[in-house]
Amino acid sequence: MESKAKALGHPVHPMIIVFPLGLLGTAVVFDIIALIQHSYSWYRINFWMIAGGIVGGLIAAAFGLVDWFEIPAGTRAKRLGFYHAVLNTVVVLLFVASWFLRQGNDEVPTSAALVLSFAGALISGVGAWLGGELVYRLGVGVDNGASLNAPNSLTEESTPKSRDYPTRKAS
């Protein structure tokens, strides 16, 4: 199943999820560093990293939803896509709650704010794994013409309908 939301021939959703995943994951790492070093400047940085991760997560979700609607009903991919979306929605909501709890606090965030972001990071790992399963195992969003010898995605023949590109057999 080929993605309908593309930029320069590639699916948008898998290209942009790295931003929220990276920002939110790094914010958790910085929280841990701040706890160890007792350095409050890390928390101020995290406040804005979490804000960027939330915005990026919402944008990525919109493109993911476009792809999800294209998956045929009754398939394993449709079911996994639903679980992927639900888990990642929970992740964004946990970070939203953590972000609100951090507002107005220039020092150490509350324990609840830290627990929410740590829980969000753990759940995001499962959501990311499901996303990987969808793309790498089930081929969701992958170009129908993909193969080891497929032409450049910017050429007219990037999605051949009747032509098969032979792949080299492993020896």
Would you say residue 34 lies in a domain?
yes
Would you say residue 16 lies in a domain?
yes
pTM: 0.82
Residues 89-135 pLDDT 10s: 999 999 999 999 999 876 789 999 999 999 999 999 999 999 988 88
Place of tokens 């193969």: 147
Would you say residue 161 lies in a domain?
no
Would you say residue 113 lies in a domain?
yes
Whole-number Å distance between alpha carbons of 65 and 58? 11
Would you say residue 92 lies in a domain?
yes
Residue type, 90: V
Q: Output the pLDDT for position 163.
A: 45
Place of tokens 């958790």: 28
Number of domains the chain contains: 1
Residues 42-94 pLDDT 10s: 988 999 999 999 999 999 999 999 988 988 899 888 999 999 999 999 999 99
Would you say residue 169 lies in a domain?
no
Could you list the residue range(s) of the whole structural domain that residue 33 is in? Answer: 6-141
Do the beta carbons of residue 27 and residue 46 sit within 8 Å?
Answer: yes
Would you say residue 168 lies in a domain?
no
Do the beta carbons of residue 117 and residue 27 sit within 8 Å?
Answer: yes
